[in-house]
Amino acid sequence: MNPPAYPDGLSAWGEPPLVTGMNVLTNPLLNKGTAFTERERDVLGIRGLLPPRVFTLEEQMQRTLISVRGKPAAIEKYIYLTQLQNRNEILFYRLVMEHIEEMVPLIYTPTVGEACLQYGSIYRRPRGMFISLRERGHIAEILRHWPQPGVRLIVVTDGERILGLGDLGALGMGIPVGKLSLYTACAGLHPGYCLPITLDVGTENAALLSGPAYIGLREKRARGAAYDEFIEEFVLAVKEVFPKALLQWEDFGNTNAFRLLHDYRHRILSFNDDIQGTAAVALAGVIGALRLTKSSLKQQKLLFLGAGEAGTGIADLFVAAAQAEGLTEAEARARCWFVDSKGLLVKNRGDKLAHHKLPYAHEHPFAATLEEAVKVLKPTALIGVSGTPQTFTQEIVTTMAKLNERPIIFALSNPTSKAECTAEQAYGWSDGRAIFASGSPFAPVEVNGRRHVPGQGNNIYIFPGVGLGALVAESREVTDRMFLAAAQTLASLVGPEDLAVGRVYPSLTKIRAVSLAIATAVAEEAHRAGLASAPRPRDLAADIQARMFQPVYREYV
């Protein structure tokens, strides 16, 4: 296939040369399967290589949908969809886009968690690149092995903190593969531009190291200078081989995640979705919830369970938003409190605090448990980013409901098995008054004759639009102001019909419109800040929409 022809950013996908025979049938971007016409089968030399009946794309999609729904378990559906993506990407994305609410939980959270745990045994064929410590000194050469030279978006993980599942090493590849599928389905980035990468630096997971199905290096995880030098070589190689690429850091351990974001955000176009994307989607949910509580950001007191990259990222963006409402930075930080594995985060706790926790260590008596912290701090919102399931107990939720007419309770940990509480628990224990959101989807709940629809505070609402906007503008950086703009845009798209059922995010069926609006806001901010390298079109939104990939078959003859 020819390299992408996007001289002005992301405007058109270069037409591939006419390939024939099995070459066209084994290329997922060119293959139409049973949709090749009679004339195409003759010209391309594939007559006899396919069943005789010619199907339309719509007919193929219906057959595929029946097959997916016929699988008894989510992981089997995931495997089927992965094989479909590897065989026919147009059909795969058409199916996902037209049945987005049904398919996203299968290709990403919560099913991707189980898929990562089993990745060694379900691995079928290459998708993305594994770059290990063995490739030190040759990473640029390895990147050139990728068949598409025009890569514009890389999602990379080192597998140390996969969702709430911990260190999965090379098995974490399911995350960048899944994220990039969402970039295409939700924001229209052409799949030919996307490159998933797993950096295999070893693992601390003893069960994996001794297991027969583990596909990564059987080594302890690299630390210190060896790790840093490997990452530095990788970043320099990306800049050399794919100079226009955006690099999305994904599911790195807390210490490395903050450090890598700080070290590289001004050196290469990049962001960390776990820190910045999670922050934006959570802040958008809080802003949406305030339309139900009839209050403002500066009136809130947030209590977080979990003080890692997600929690402190949310707090940092909340501080920026509260400052825009008139609070000082100190006043805004004083409204954010944290409980971690050692109890309430306070200055006199006695242990050495990680750098990212220090701004939120306040002067206050210590509280040993979350329940005690809720009672003494009286928060308006409880936000779970701990990866520890069932930690929002009935006593805690009941107390929140006593303190607030409409308590905000966000159980954001993924996958579903790691959620701090379920939607049914949050609504039931609060007599239906909770404003609830979760990281993975939950079904609607009826309490006292009223139907409540949980919002899914999933980063899917944020990162596809942010990435698209930054790429279209050819921004030199992805800034915190871009994520604030994304959060505010997302919150503005919550309609009266959403609020009527307690949902603080738009329906997932609107995700392409959401991504377009966020991409427009991000690109606008890039131009405002003087970071855009591309000229600003007269109609920014129309220009972006015209660039978005649509899953339709090309005509060969």
Per-residue pLDDT of the chain (557 residues; tens, 9 = 90+): 233 333 333 444 445 556 788 999 999 999 999 999 999 999 999 999 999 999 999 999 999 999 999 999 999 999 999 999 999 999 999 999 999 999 999 999 999 999 999 999 999 888 999 999 999 999 999 999 999 888 999 999 999 999 989 999 999 999 999 999 999 999 999 999 999 999 999 999 999 999 999 999 999 999 999 999 999 999 999 999 999 999 999 999 988 999 999 999 999 999 999 999 999 999 999 999 999 999 999 999 999 999 998 999 999 999 999 999 999 999 999 999 999 999 999 998 878 888 899 999 999 999 999 999 999 999 999 999 999 999 999 999 999 999 999 999 999 998 889 999 999 999 999 999 999 999 989 999 999 999 999 999 999 999 999 999 999 999 999 999 999 999 999 999 999 999 999 999 999 999 999 999 999 999 999 999 999 999 999 999 999 999 999 999 999 88
Question: Does any domain span residue 39?
Answer: no
Question: Does any domain span residue 204?
Answer: yes
179 is catalytic: yes
156 and 222 assigned to the same domain: yes
| List 32, 77, 179, 418, catalytic entry | 179
Give the whole-angstrom CA distance, residue 135 versus residue 144: 13
362 and 504 assigned to the same domain: yes
448 and 545 assigned to the same domain: yes
Our count of domains for the chain comes to 2
Q: Report pLDDT for 126.
A: 84
426 and 332 assigned to the same domain: yes
287 and 178 assigned to the same domain: no
Q: Of 252, 268, 284, which residue is a domain's last?
A: 268
Residue type, 482: M
Q: Of 268, 297, 327, which residue is a domain's last?
A: 268
CA end-to-end span of the chain: 17
418 is catalytic: no
115 and 202 assigned to the same domain: yes
- Give the pairing of strands 153-157 and 194-200: parallel
333 and 349 assigned to the same domain: yes
Q: Report pLDDT for 177.
A: 97
With residue 340 as reference, give the H or E element that holds it.
strand 336-340
247 and 379 assigned to the same domain: no
C-alpha gyration radius of the chain = 24
SS3 label, residue 237: helix
Burial 504-516 (b: 16+ CB within 10 A, else e): bbbbbebbbebbb
384: Cβ–Cβ under 8 A, 6 or more apart, which residues?
A: 304, 305, 306, 391, 392, 410, 411, 412, 413, 419, 420, 421
Q: What is the CATH number of the domain that holds 252?
A: 3.40.50.10380
Within a 10 A sphere around the Cβ of 270, how many other Cβ atoms?
22
CA atoms within 13 A on the CB side of 507: 13
Q: Report pLDDT for 350.
A: 79
Question: Does any domain span residue 105?
Answer: yes
Domain hosting residue 139, numbered range? 56-268
Q: Report pLDDT for 3.
A: 33
Q: What is the CATH number of the domain that holds 500?
A: 3.40.50.720
506 and 402 assigned to the same domain: yes
| List 6, 93, 108, 461, catalytic entry | 108
- Write out the DSSP string of 387-435: S-TT-S-HHHHHHHHHH-SS-EEEE--SSGGG-SS-HHHHHHHTTT--E
Q: Of 237, 268, 299, which residue is a domain's last?
A: 268
283 and 171 assigned to the same domain: no
Question: Does any domain span residue 11?
Answer: no
Question: Does any domain span residue 21?
Answer: no
Give the whole-angstrom CA distance, residue 50 versus residue 137: 45
Q: Report pLDDT for 391.
A: 98
70 and 135 assigned to the same domain: yes
Q: pTM for the complete prediction?
A: 0.94
Question: Does any domain span residue 37?
Answer: no
Question: Does any domain span residue 410?
Answer: yes
- Give the pairing of strands 336-340 and 343-344: antiparallel
